[in-house]
A = this chain, B = another copy of it.
Amino acid sequence: MQAFPAKDVWMEHRVSYGETDAMGYLYYAEYLHLFERSRSAYIRQLGMSYALVEEKGLMLPVREAGCRYRIPSRYDELIWIRVGLAEHGRASMRFVYQLTDAERSVVRAEGFTEHACTNLEGRPVRMPVWLLELIA
């Protein structure tokens, strides 16, 4: 596996029927749903939750997202999503992701999401100290 942030979180997932397409594979947009689930899990492991982040008046909308699909996943397969915080600036964060097989040994897809820090009106704001400390 390629370099990945040291602090990572793994999330297990069973591919459901509703996530597959007529090809029999996990549909390509569903990866972004799984990325979102895993980064919520990441934030939860830091002792926070994204719901709480928003209650504190901060939003982290996605500015950019991308995914490279290498090996498809089928219905009922157990897969894992690995997430890490690759970097952050004063008003942005970048998460990276890997989707692997059940043994966590073969990377089937890789992706990233770039997030801005904004207030609830969507205006860019600096990352608050509590968030900086949380992700430090």
Contact = CB atoms under 8 A, between A and B. Distances in A.
User: Interface size class for chain A?
Assistant: 35 or more
A16 B61 CA distance: 15
A40 interface: yes
A40 B65 contact: no
A50 B24 CA distance: 14
A131 to B, nearest CB: 17
A119 interface: no
A62 B27 CA distance: 10
B22 A37 contact: no
Given A61-B72, A66-B67, A68-B64, A14 B37 contact: yes
Contacts of A129: none
Interface in A33-66: 33, 36-37, 40, 49-51, 59, 61-66
